[in-house]
Amino acid sequence: MSKEDSIVPLKMLLFCFHAANTIIVSFMPLLLQYKGLSGQEIGWVLAIGPLVSIFSQPFWGFMSDKYQTVKRILSFCLVGLLVSSTVFFQMNSLTLLLMMAGVFFFFTAPIGALGDSLSQRRADQLGISFGTIRTWGSIGFAISSLVIGQILSHFGIQYMLIPYLILGTAALLVSFRLTDVKVDTPPIQLGDVKQLLRNTPFIIFLILIMFITITHRANDSFLGIYIDHLGGSESLIGFAWFAGVAGEAIIFATAGKWFRKYHPLIFIIVAGLLFAVRWSIYAVIEDPVYIVLLQVLHGLTFGVFYLAAFQYVTRLIPKMIQSTGHLVFVSIFFGLSGIVGSLLGGELIDSLGGGYLYGTMAVMALVGSILITVYHFLPFGKTIR
């Protein structure tokens, strides 16, 4: 089997899962709004996912390292996704939504991170760029946002569950054909995880990037509602996500040609500054069409930031605990940051409006960029290559 053939199932898994995840990221806030929840209540429900992921992602990462398999953990979580989503999407009361969101995100949150971890490790084994594999997740997200946006605009947001189950089932079927990662080190024990807690550069880095990742997650949660408040439709929201993630796919696909020219922290700093510029512009826009046009900056912000941060973290952690380390990183990137972004974003968009929310995000991204610049010039920041 050739290199390309061996990673086709992995590419298809990323495509199908991120296509399904589009529905949660792009349209779940609108479904909750359709069910009668306020902006603050929507923030509470959306915050459950990141809250659960703080525990579920390291847990499933540890299980993956302990049993030395990513493939079986992915398949198990995908089964949980299908069962729990069928119940979660049917709930209407806030209490039941909060309870079932916890179960749903316990299985869903680690899938993307495990897929990225497997992609990174397979890329290292085959001597190819991580971005050439990861780009298929972005392609799936982009195509789904465009197609699902049109479908839901025509049939109604209340039918979200049907395309979600179709894509989730496809991801599960593809997962059975994955090539698992082979690990030469002994299975880890719980005590080995202490290495992460003693890794000072790793911990400091995670704290600093939160100033930027909180803004990214707030945008994930409230971009659709912001466009809706400005007069946009579900199809326009779909176009907005398509434009953004199409740019992200280009960044991932071409990363092998430009990424290794500079230290990853340089890319992180530049992406952070672009985040600040992006949110500043969003804060003053009154026509939602301009948001769609400016979504091309998503590739240069999230695409560059995530790729550089993921590879930098890979350098910081030992191979024997890479799945655990990767999922701890993702639990901060999407988990803890998502809690703050959802709760803070819901409060700000309810009380002061979307423009004020994006203005606050711009300031946070600028502060984060400055702090990471300082980190880069510290002794451990400069020496890790």
195: domain CATH number? 1.20.1250.20
Q: What is the pLDDT of residues 245-286, one digit of tens each?
A: 777 778 877 776 766 777 889 999 999 999 999 999 999 988
Residue 67 pLDDT grade (very low, low, confident, very high; cuts 50, 70, 90): confident
Mean pLDDT of 174-198: 69
**Rounded Cα distance, 320 and 171, in Å:** 27
pLDDT at 324 over 80: no
Question: At how many degrees (to 10) do helices 161-175 and 130-155 cross?
Answer: 150
Residue 190 pLDDT grade (very low, low, confident, very high; cuts 50, 70, 90): low
Tell me, what DSSP letter sits at residue 263? -
**Rounded Cα distance, 293 and 290, in Å:** 5
Which residues neighbour 35 within 8 Å (Cβ) at sequence distance 6 or greater? 92, 97
**Rounded Cα distance, 45 and 54, in Å:** 15
pLDDT at 6 over 80: no
- Residue positions counted in the chain: 385
Mean pLDDT of 107-119: 86
**Rounded Cα distance, 90 and 92, in Å:** 7
**Spatial contact of 55 and 178, defined as CB atoms under 8 Å apart:** no
Three-class secondary structure assignment of 22-34: HHHHHHHHHHHHH
pLDDT for 155: 85
pLDDT at 382 over 60: no
When mean pLDDT is compared over 32-41, 61-70, 182-191, the highest value belongs to: 32-41
Between 169 and 247, the more confident residue is 169
Q: What is the pLDDT of residues 192-246, one digit of tens each?
A: 566 777 778 888 998 999 999 999 988 887 888 888 888 887 778 778 878 887 7
Between 29 and 10, the more confident residue is 10
Between 5-9, 156-160, 289-293, the lowest mean confidence (pLDDT) is in: 5-9
Q: Provide the residue range defining the domain that includes 323.
A: 3-180+187-383
Which residues neighbour 118 within 8 Å (Cβ) at sequence distance 6 or greater? 10, 70, 71, 74, 178, 181
Number of structural domains, the chain? 1
pLDDT for 243: 81
